[in-house]
């Protein structure tokens, strides 16, 4: 819990946020176009932590919406992977039983 608090304090320090955004801008090709959305997102999160949100900052940000959908897709993929693995194990077990029954005949 204390490590998490420390991470939040460090992450949303204005100086460190500016450094992170400038590092994102250094990425060739896509960096400058990603700088503004990340800056807005991190600033909105920082303001939310300080309870200084206004009406415009409370609107849903497209970046947070994208991350939310990405997490949902990852969870769905994980569940489907478990179901697929279970089905393959079951099919293999059935094949082995059928094969062993054929040998005993």
Q: How do residues 9-38 score in pLDDT, each as one tens digit?
A: 766 677 877 887 888 888 888 888 888 888
Q: What's the mean per-residue pLDDT of the chain?
A: 81
Task: Identify which of 23, 58, 51, 28 has the alpha carbon closest to the alpha carbon of residue 38.
Answer: 23
Domain ranges in the chain are 1-59, 61-105
Q: How far apart, in whole angstroms, are the C-alpha atoms of residue 59 and residue 103?
A: 67
13-42 burial string, b = 16+ CB within 10 Å, else e?
eeeebeeebeebbeeeeeeeeebeebbebb
What pTM was computed for the model? 0.43
Please check the confidence at residue 69 and state whether its pLDDT lies above 50: yes
59: phi then psi, degrees, rounded to nearest 5? -65, 150
């Amino acid at each position: 819990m204390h490590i998490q608090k420390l991470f939040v304090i460090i992450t949303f320090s204005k100086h460190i946020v500016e450094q992170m955004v400038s590092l994102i801008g250094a990425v060739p090709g896509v960096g400058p176009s990603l700088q503004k959305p990340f800056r807005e997102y991190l600033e909105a999160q920082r303001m939310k932590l300080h309870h200084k949100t206004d009406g415009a900052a409370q609107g849903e940000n497209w970046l947070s919406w994208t991350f939310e959908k990405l997490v949902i897709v990852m969870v769905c993929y994980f569940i489907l992977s478990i179901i697929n693995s279970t089905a393959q194990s079951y099919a293999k077990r059935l094949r082995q039983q059928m094969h062993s029954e054929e040998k005993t005949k």
